[in-house]
Structure 1
Amino acid sequence: MKQSTIPHFGLYGESSWINDPEFFHIEDIEYRSSDLGWKITPHRHAQLFQILILKSGEVKVQLDEKQHKLQGAWAIIVPAGVVHGFRFAPDTDGRVISIAEPLLEETHQEKATSFIKPLLSQPCYIDFNGHRNLFSELWPLIQQLESESTRIREGRALMSEYLIKAILILLYRQFRHDSNNTTNKTETSHAHQLKELIEAHYREHWTSHQYADALSISTSRLNRLSKTTFNQSVLDLIHDRVLLEAKRSLIYTARSVEEISYDLGFKDPGYFSRFFKRSAGVPPGKFRVLSNQPSI
């Protein structure tokens, strides 16, 4: 049965949140998933950022309503709030790292921010299959982090924090290698700040002008930046984020269309339905019926 809201977990299947701003957790994919038939059903985390490092094997990944099949060496980035599910092939080898968001937010005040922050805003896949040399640098850091998590030693928390940052920087290097983004550092910073602002205010239906004011740049410049970086206008990004949350609620919860519309900041459910049909091509009720099919 669908639940009234999308399941939020601390770790998968554990509803209680570990209230520790320095919390991190690392575990073997097999340990968590083998007893569940190698399947992790769709869910999301409110305050945990996750990295899945796949060393070998195969996985079908569901991030929100999109699905991908990956084989070999990959990193999968899952920011907090993203609905995700996995079906692993038996004997898949890899690790899942869960990190409390406050631990990562501290890096925003450090030199590491330009390397780590771009990975925090949206889910992505990082391919290491053609870059085994870089993966051979990454995997020992994963193993060292795993070792730190199981032993009580002086400086354990600090060592773990440094290892997490090193892992994220290596992931960023490969992420940048795969990216065709040619914008300069200032534009890249503004682009990621825009994404973060939309995430914080999409339910308030901020206008493009309000986002531009928050970033202290003109609306026209922000739109040019958005189209260069994301191939979409600011308004398109805003609408896409509202639509994504609407789809999440329709697929993964049993809440009524009216409840969903109010939750997303619409004062009139009729206007929400028209917005959804214009954006998705079908009314919300029909979308829910069409999406009522087995997840991976």
Structure 2
Amino acid sequence: MTQHHPKKQIKSDNKQLPSSDWIPNINLGEDYDRRYIDASIHYDAQENLAVFFGRDMPVHRHAQYLQIHYFERGDINFHIDDKLFQVEGPCLFLTPPAIPHSFQTMQDAGGHVLTIHQSLIWELMKRGLQNVPEIDLQLGICLTEKNMHEEQRNQWQLIQQLLQNIKNEWLAESPAKFLVLENFVYLLIIQIARLSSRQVKSSLINNDDLRLFHRFSNEIETHLHEHWHLYEYTRTIGVSASRLYQICKRISNSSPKKIIRERLLQEVKRMLTFSSLSSNEISYKLGFNDPAYFSRFFKAQTGMTPHSYRKKQALH
């Protein structure tokens, strides 16, 4: 499949939760697919995004974009704000704009990722969707095929068909492409909203755990290039290594060391894809004192050298 790398149901009452300033804001048009930097709609296959960002996606947000993930199969852990959904595919998640989320998927999850500017959602609300009392797109939504009643299966199949239509239209270069995409998106949102009464129940994450996980994520962003050891993070946060491990496993299903490593790898991939810096320059910029170690680190995580990865990305 072609890659594109051109070159709240339950709300927390804890008032001490930090603002979203600490959370990495990912703009797919800037950080992933610059051909569509100003597009109001972006589509890609889940497999392609997983190659670039990883299958274990740490907590992040999309400041002005609603996002829809559809996973075809496998066990999925999806964290939206202070809610944790643990489900099996086929399943769908709707994440409102600016809401922190993270997820872990299996190797063969597959599926669709649709990113939609909030202005399109506002337009849909103005057209009358806001007058339907049981529909609230400000909250995260999780739907699974097996949770549907028999009479709702046709609506679920329509969602699957609409996602396939969006994929086909996205890959084609047809007249009025984005007008067609907008109309498919409107239909998709309405179908998701109609089925939202059947959404899966979530587990509520302990606020203290969430606060510490947020603090850990913030410290990673601050000290990523310094290559801090884990004990430096635990000392700064004021928590034991075992407690931090338990929190990270509970919220993200990853160990603290894995979260740090994958965040660093994501930054390396971004710079190899979008910057003109040499591998040696990137290694020093990201805090690696030895370019040879930088290459070994990257190859151990990806199975290829930085040069091979950059060459592969340039073909797409």
- By the TM > 0.5 criterion, same fold? yes
Q: 2:194 aligns with which of 173, 187, 193?
A: 173
How big is each residue's C-alpha offset from its partner over 1:235-290, in whole Å with a ceiling of 9 and x where there is no partner?
xxxxxxx99996675342139xxxxxxxxxxxxxxxxxxxxxxxxxxxxx667985
Asked if the contact 1:50–1:97 (Cα under 8 Å) also holds between the matched residues in 2, the reply is yes
The residue type paired with residue 254 of structure 1 is: E
1:27-38 mapped onto 2 (5 Å cutoff): 27-34=44-51, 37-38=54-55
Q: 1:108 aligns with which of 121, 125, 141?
A: 125
SS at 2:47's partner residue?
A: helix
Instruction: Name structure 1 gaps, 5 residues minimum.
Output: 181-241, 256-284
SS at 1:56's partner residue?
A: coil
Q: What does residue 40 of structure 1 align with?
A: 57
The residue type paired with residue 189 of structure 2 is: L
Q: 1:254 aligns with which of 216, 219, 223?
A: 219
Deviates more, 1:55-64 or 1:134-143: 55-64
1:191-202 mapped onto 2 (5 Å cutoff): none
Task: State, as a whole percentage, how many aligned pairs show the same letter.
Answer: 19
SS at 1:8's partner residue?
A: coil
Structure 1 residue 118: Cα displacement = 3.3
Structure 1 residue 145: Cα displacement = 0.7
Q: 1:247 to 1:130 in 2, by over 3 A?
A: same
Structure 1 residue 7: Cα displacement = 0.7
SS at 1:25's partner residue?
A: strand
Q: 2:66 aligns with which of 36, 40, 49?
A: 49
Structure 1 residue 55: Cα displacement = 2.6
Q: 2:142 aligns with which of 115, 122, 125?
A: 125
SS at 1:253's partner residue?
A: helix
Q: 1:117 to 1:130 in 2, by over 3 A?
A: closer
Q: 1:142 to 1:119 in 2, by over 3 A?
A: farther
Q: What does residue 61 of structure 1 align with?
A: 78
Asked if the contact 2:92–2:144 (Cα under 8 Å) also holds between the matched residues in 1, the reply is yes
The residue type paired with residue 175 of structure 2 is: E
The residue type paired with residue 164 of structure 1 is: V
1:210-289 mapped onto 2 (5 Å cutoff): 249-254=214-219
Asked if the contact 2:30–2:37 (Cα under 8 Å) also holds between the matched residues in 1, the reply is no
Distance 2:58 2:42 in 1: 19
Asked if the contact 1:26–1:96 (Cα under 8 Å) also holds between the matched residues in 2, the reply is yes
Distance 1:66 1:148 in 2: 33
Structure 1 residue 85: Cα displacement = 1.3
How does the TM-score come out when normalised to structure 2?
Answer: 0.54
Q: What does residue 267 of structure 2 align with?
A: none
The residue type paired with residue 55 of structure 2 is: W
1:153-172 mapped onto 2 (5 Å cutoff): 153-172=174-193
How big is each residue's C-alpha offset from its partner over 1:57-82, in whole Å with a ceiling of 9 and x where there is no partner?
22111223543321022211111222
1:26 and 2:47 aligned: no
Q: 1:58 to 1:115 in 2, by over 3 A?
A: farther
How big is each residue's C-alpha offset from its partner over 1:179-204, in whole Å with a ceiling of 9 and x where there is no partner?
99xxxxxxxxxxxxxxxxxxxxxxxx
1:82 and 2:47 aligned: no
